[in-house]
Structures are given as C-alpha cells and as structure tokens.
C-alpha cells in the first residue's frame, strides 16, 4: 500500500489529503508545524471566481467550482456550505479593455458570464451604487467559502476518511536516497513515504532551499476585515472591486448573524521574507490606516458600510511566482516530490482543484487539466536568482485577485 506524506495543513494540503483519501490508494499522513489552519487559509477572504486570465487557470477553476459544490454536500454534516452568491468583477474603462480581450477565451471554454452596466447592477443589487462608467463582469458560478467553516470541516472529514493529521509536527527536511525523495525528517525522526506533497505556501522558498532547490516566489502581507453585525442581510454578490481599491462580500458568523467582509493590499509595503521555518503568521501586523482607507474607498459602492465598523482583522501572506501563475507539479531533480505553491490571492479558490492535481501527480495518474504552464521547472536559474535577489513592494506584483 503506497504511503503519502502531505506537508502543510492549509487549504491546499488538506484538499490534497482529502483527494488522496477519496482515491483510497494508500495511507495518507498530513504534517502541520502548528495547528491546522495556522497559515493563510484561515485568514483568507474566501472569494472564488472562475474568470481568470489564463486558459489553464480557467479550466482549473471550472473544476474547483464543481468540487466546491460537491464539498458543500460532503461537508454539510461538518458545518460547511459553499455560498454560491456569484462573483462580480468590476472594471473601469481602462482595465475593462484588457479584460474584454479574454471574453473569446471564456466563450471557447464554455465559461458563462454576464456583462452588466451600472444601471443593471443597481437594479439587480439595490445595496450597490457603482459609478456610472464601471463595467461588471458577473460569474454566476462564483461565490465564497467562509474559511472558519471550511478549514476545520475539511480537516474533520479528512480524519474521518482515515487521514492521519499530526499537528505540531514541523518537517525539517526531505529525506533523499539515490536522488529520490523517500520521506521527511521531523523532530520525531524519519517518516518514509512513496510520495511527498509539499504545500507550505510562504515557507516554500526556505524549505526547498534546504535541499538546494530554488523556486521564484515572493510573499506579501495582506489583510481583510469583518464588520460589526448588520440589522439585516445584505443582498449583493462577492465583488472584486479593483476601481475601489479592494474586495467586499457578505459574511456569515452563523446562520442569523450577517456582516460584511472587505480586504485589500498595501501597495507600498515591502515584501515579507520568510527566512525561518519557525515563522508564524500571527507575528504579522497591518497598518492601522488600512481600516479607515478601506471603509472610505468602499462606502461609495456599498453605502451600508457606513452603518458599521470593522470588528475583526486577519493578517496573512499571499505569494506570487515570477510570472504570477501558480507553481504546481513535480520537480525533475527531485523525483518522489510534488509541490503546490504561489497561488497569488486565490489559493482558497484554487484549493479543491490544486488538491486534486497534487493527488493525481503523487499517485502517478494523469492530471485532470494539462498543467505545463504551472510547472515548477518553467523558470530559468538566472531569472529565479534575480527574482529572489530583488526586493519588491506589493504594487510591483501583478494584481491577480482571487
């Protein structure tokens, strides 16, 4: 019976373990250095859309959206439901020109969308007051996943499917024998495996450097907020509101407690280097000014925001590869290892399909989507070194939202 080790207890690692367990093809152990959800996954906005910018991305997200519907059924008894409220992507005239060029690709791939002007948006969602020159690209299949429901529900389901989840179990290194990854080193000793899946997000560069592999990934601090309770439920979809400098969506703290969630970048903030495996995201802080600027920027779009204040804050990291596409695949120099990282601000959205693809690769199966454009070996050593040696502020990274 093959043995699989998944490193990292975030949404990507949990989904990989879940898919392996469902394949019933072997013994699955997930190792998490802290507690499950300690990384970005439990801090995310949870926004999901399929309207991405590359063919591989769109095809992958079509699978993710289908899997989210299936997870909604499979995890219902654990308190999770995918909130299929749709996702509205807003564009000003300049950014719309660029996005409009992608419409033939969406048509060819059969991904449905609607184009709405400001009057249509106001008519459909009375809580919204978008400016007159904005274009709305609506993804009917999109929505959101509450991370505080999704991550624990998935972990419980994994355990019930037979996955062994070990918390406070930091992986120190890969065990390599005759050029092949045959297990991992932990404080408890060597754990052997036929295939290892590495899903350690912002820790990937430091972790992989231990066995001499360099991957071009940068991480940036990102933050999101949940409002005080509203008098009544708001009626609008998830909104990627770039012209307003952020994103906003309805939020739930239970079945009757309705709030608003919003988040955004800090363009001028320097990248966050994670040089130590022991780093924890709870060490991160957001500038106080983000709270007020988000509220000021987004209230013209959602006037009901003015009746609330931000009650909770979550600060974490988002990671970008050199070309801003995910890194997912096998490393030719390290057979036995599969890596999934750099999902920009869309790792929650990618997580079901990323888990499926990682599980397929680890089990030696062909992948559900052709993923050569996500391949870890698509970067030259020179480009990787230059990317890692440079220091960027977040505004220099391509804004790839959700």
Ligand X SMILES: Cc1cc2nc3c(=O)[nH]c(=O)nc-3n(C[C@H](O)[C@H](O)[C@H](O)COP(=O)(O)OP(=O)(O)OC[C@H]3O[C@@H](n4cnc5c(N)ncnc54)[C@H](O)[C@@H]3O)c2cc1C
For 144, the 3-state DSSP assignment is strand
For 89, the 3-state DSSP assignment is strand
Q: Are 244 and 90 in contact (CB under 8 A)?
A: yes
Q: Are 88 and 137 in contact (CB under 8 A)?
A: yes
The set of residues, in sequence order, having a beta carbon less than 8 Å from that of 244 and lying 6+ positions away, is 90, 297, 298, 300, 301
Q: Please tell me the distance from the alpha carbon of residue 75 to that of residue 54, in angstroms, as a whole number.
A: 30
Instruction: Pick one of 6, 33, 191, 328: the residue that binds ligand X (CB under 6 A).
Output: 33
Q: How far is the CB of 149 from ligand X (least distance, A)?
A: 14
When the beta carbons of 38 and 139 are compared against ligand X, the nearer one is 38
Does 142 bind ligand X (CB under 6 A)? Our answer is: no
Q: Please tell me the distance from the alpha carbon of residue 247 to that of residue 351, in angstroms, as a whole number.
A: 20
Does 320 bind ligand X (CB under 6 A)? Our answer is: no
Does 44 bind ligand X (CB under 6 A)? Our answer is: yes
Q: How far is the CB of 205 from ligand X (least distance, A)?
A: 11
Do strands 135-139 and 143-144 pair parallel, antiparallel, or not at all (unpaired)? unpaired
Which 357-396 residues touch ligand X, going by CB under 6 A?
A: none
When the beta carbons of 171 and 305 are compared against ligand X, the nearer one is 171
Q: Please tell me the distance from the alpha carbon of residue 340 to that of residue 327, in angstroms, as a whole number.
A: 6
Q: How far is the CB of 145 from ligand X (least distance, A)?
A: 8
Does 50 bind ligand X (CB under 6 A)? Our answer is: no
Region near ligand X per CB under 6 A, out of 42-50, 117-125, 298-306, 372-380: 42-50
Q: Please tell me the distance from the alpha carbon of residue 7 to that of residue 60, in angstroms, as a whole number.
A: 22
Region near ligand X per CB under 6 A, out of 52-60, 313-321, 360-368, 381-389: 313-321
When the beta carbons of 119 and 393 are compared against ligand X, the nearer one is 393
Instruction: Pick one of 6, 21, 28, 45: the residue that binds ligand X (CB under 6 A).
Output: 45
Burial classification of residue 377, based on how many CB atoms lie within 10 Å of its CB (0-12 exposed, 13-18 middle, 19 or more buried): middle
Does 277 bind ligand X (CB under 6 A)? Our answer is: yes
Instruction: Pick one of 4, 5, 6, 8: the residue that binds ligand X (CB under 6 A).
Output: 8
Token pair, residue 155, equals 């972990």
Q: How far is the CB of 94 from ligand X (least distance, A)?
A: 24
Instruction: Pick one of 130, 316, 329, 352: the residue that binds ligand X (CB under 6 A).
Output: 316
Does 246 bind ligand X (CB under 6 A)? Our answer is: no
Region near ligand X per CB under 6 A, out of 98-106, 193-201, 322-330, 372-380: 193-201
The DSSP output letter for 365 is: P
Q: Are 362 and 195 in contact (CB under 8 A)?
A: yes
Residues facing residue 265 across a β-bridge: none
Region near ligand X per CB under 6 A, out of 216-224, 296-304, 325-333, 367-375: 216-224
> How many angstroms from the chain centroid is the CA of residue 247?
15
Does 349 bind ligand X (CB under 6 A)? Our answer is: yes
Do strands 114-116 and 135-139 pair parallel, antiparallel, or not at all (unpaired)? antiparallel
When the beta carbons of 43 and 81 are compared against ligand X, the nearer one is 43
Rg (CA), the chain: 20
Instruction: Pick one of 243, 346, 355, 376: the residue that binds ligand X (CB under 6 A).
Output: 346
Region near ligand X per CB under 6 A, out of 82-90, 218-226, 361-369, 378-386: 218-226
Q: How far is the CB of 132 from ligand X (least distance, A)?
A: 27
When the beta carbons of 106 and 207 are compared against ligand X, the nearer one is 207
For helices 55-74 and 347-362, the axis angle rounded to 10 degrees is 90
Instruction: Pick one of 7, 17, 58, 359: the residue that binds ligand X (CB under 6 A).
Output: 7
Which sign, positive or negative, has the C-alpha torsion 227, 228, 230, 233? positive
Q: Are 43 and 147 in contact (CB under 8 A)?
A: yes
Q: Are 283 and 336 in contact (CB under 8 A)?
A: no
Residues facing residue 241 across a β-bridge: 246
Instruction: Pick one of 13, 50, 152, 246: the residue that binds ligand X (CB under 6 A).
Output: 13
Q: Which residues bind ligand X (CB under 6 A)?
A: 7-13, 31-34, 38-41, 43-47, 170-171, 199-201, 203, 207, 222-224, 263, 277, 314, 316-318, 343, 345-349, 402
């Amino acid at each position: 019976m093959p043995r699989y080790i998944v490193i990292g207890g975030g949404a990507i690692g949990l989904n990989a373990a879940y898919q392996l367990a469902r394949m019933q093809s072997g013994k699955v152990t997930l190792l998490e250095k802290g507690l499950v959800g300690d990384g970005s996954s439990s801090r995310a906005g949870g926004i999901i859309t399929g309207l991405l910018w590359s063919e591989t991305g769109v095809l992958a997200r079509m699978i993710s959206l289908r899997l989210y519907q299936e997870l909604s059924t499979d995890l219902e008894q654990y308190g999770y439901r995918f909130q299929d409220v749709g996702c509205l992507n807003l564009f000003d005239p300049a950014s719309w020109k660029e996005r409009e060029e992608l419409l033939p690709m969406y048509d060819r791939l059969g991904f449905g969308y609607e184009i709405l002007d400001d009057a249509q948006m106001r008519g459909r969602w009375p809580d919204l007051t978008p400016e007159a020159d904005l274009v709305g690209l609506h993804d009917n299949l999109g929505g959101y996943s509450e991370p505080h429901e999704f991550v624990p529900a998935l972990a419980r389901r994994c355990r019930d499917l037979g996955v062994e989840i070990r918390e406070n179990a930091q992986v120190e290194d890969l065990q390599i024998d005759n050029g092949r990854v045959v297990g991992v080193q932990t404080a408890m000793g060597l754990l052997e495996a036929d295939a290892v899946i590495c899903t350690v997000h912002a820790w990937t560069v430091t972790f992989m450097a231990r066995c001499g592999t360099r991957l071009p990934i940068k991480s940036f601090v990102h933050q999101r907020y949940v409002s005080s309770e509203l008098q009544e439920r708001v009626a609008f979809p998830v909104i990627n509101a770039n012209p307003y400098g952020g994103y906003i969506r309805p939020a739930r703290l239970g079945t009757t407690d309705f709030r608003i969630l919003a988040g955004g970048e800090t363009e001028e903030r320097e990248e966050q280097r994670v040089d130590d495996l022991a780093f924890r995201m709870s060490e991160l802080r957001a500038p106080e000014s983000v709270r007020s600027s988000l509220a000021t920027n987004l209230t013209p779009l959602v006037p009901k925001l003015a009746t609330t204040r931000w009650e909770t804050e979550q600060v974490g990291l988002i990671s970008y590869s050199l070309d801003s596409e995910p890194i997912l695949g096998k490393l030719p120099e390290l057979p036995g290892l599969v890596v999934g990282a750099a999902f920009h601000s869309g790792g929650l959205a990618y997580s079901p399909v990323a888990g499926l693809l990682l599980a397929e690769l680890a089990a030696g199966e062909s992948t559900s989507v052709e993923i050569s454009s996500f391949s870890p070996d698509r970067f030259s050593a020179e480009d990787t070194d230059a990317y890692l040696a440079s220091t960027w502020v977040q505004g220099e990274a391509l804004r790839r939202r959700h």
